[in-house]
Amino acid sequence: MGVLLLFVDGLGLGAGDPGTNPVARARLGRLRLLRDRPAPDPAAVLIPTDACLGVPGLPQSATGQTSLLAGVNAPAAAGRHINGYCTKSLAALLDGRSLFSRVKAAGGDATFANAYTPAFLAKLPRFLSVSTVATSRAGLRFRTLDDLARGEALFHDFTNRLLPERGYFLPPITPREAGERLARLARAHAFTMYEHFLTDRAGHAKDMARAVEILEDLEAFLDAVLSGMDLSADLVVLASDHGNLEDLSTNRHTRNPVPTLLWGTGAARAAAGIETIADIAPAILRHLAVL
Ligand SMILES: [Zn+2]
């Protein structure tokens, strides 16, 4: 019995305008639930989820991801939405409270599925993402390009196509192969998180063609993930930190609700307590009987 948290950066629920929303243009199956009048899907639960957390201004990644991973209202604690990288005060909120820490402390096997490059691991950059800090503070191992080559990790783009940008070369894999790989990893752990942020990048770039391509790749990836899991025993949660991609009329984040999508065992029960992105970690911990 495993829980997979598929974190997709910058994906909100927007109006169904194909002029501004790539979700209205992309060919989608599982992700058609992101449209404004979705066809019902008895296998999935969608909770439109507040990412603003009562704090004025546009929601941002560092506070959003801390809220998601630690189940706290990070922008309220910090007094503002904080963009980009983890700060000292956000790291303090993650300490001992992140999903990684909580699952590990309860004796569960938690892992971050993303692969890090040798250059990154040799000298950790001064500015780190929330997920990197959460992984490190929980004492979890960073997955490497050796893991990636063995099929036991995923690059952030999940196909390896962007790996050469960092100066590394591995054969590309299809979104479906990547999804099968993540499902295998998730089935071997109590809690697995995977982070994908090309969605946020495409939103900032206001690039409609790229956004549609990213959504269609994500659709194939997600479909393979769900086909590879045992949904009578496992729970898959797709969550985001703030809106962005769903409104390409702006290159900034949005205050739109974000989708929380749940598939598998206990999905409806886990969804029942979710109103904001800070409710997702507690829902996962309750599902795992850690809370
Ligand atoms: Zn962003």
Per-domain boundaries in the chain: 3-260+268-284
pLDDT tens per residue across all 291 residues of the chain: 899 999 999 999 999 999 999 999 999 999 999 998 888 899 999 999 999 999 999 999 999 999 999 999 999 999 999 999 999 999 999 999 999 999 999 999 999 999 999 999 999 999 999 999 999 999 999 999 999 999 999 999 999 999 999 999 999 999 999 999 999 999 999 999 999 999 999 999 999 999 999 999 999 999 999 999 999 999 999 999 999 999 999 999 999 999 999 999 999 999 999 999 999 999 999 999 986
At 37 the pLDDT is 84
- Ligand 1 centre and the CA of 120: distance in Å? 21
Exposure pattern of 232-256 as b/e (b: 16+ CB <10 Å)? eebbbbbbbbbbbbbbbeeeebbeb
The encoded tokens of residue 279 equal 């409710």
Residue 20 Cα to ligand 1 midpoint, Å, equals 17
> What is the CATH superfamily name and number for domain 3-260+268-284?
Alkaline Phosphatase, subunit A (3.40.720.10)
Q: How far is the CA of 85 from the centre of ligand 1 (A)?
A: 11
Q: What amino acid is encoded at 112 in this protein?
A: F
pTM: 0.98
> What residues have a C-beta under 5 A from ligand 1, the ion?
200
Q: Give residue 201 CA to ligand 1 midpoint distance, Å.
A: 7
- In the reported structure, the alpha carbon of residue 194 is separated from the centroid of ligand 1 by a whole-number distance in angstroms of 17
Q: What is the pLDDT of residue 291?
A: 67
Q: Rounded to the nearest whole angstrom, what is the distance from the C-alpha of residue 262 to the centroid of ligand 1? A: 23
Closest Cα partner for 240 from 85, 100, 68?
68
H helix runs in 43-105, sequence order: 61-70, 74-78, 88-94, 99-105
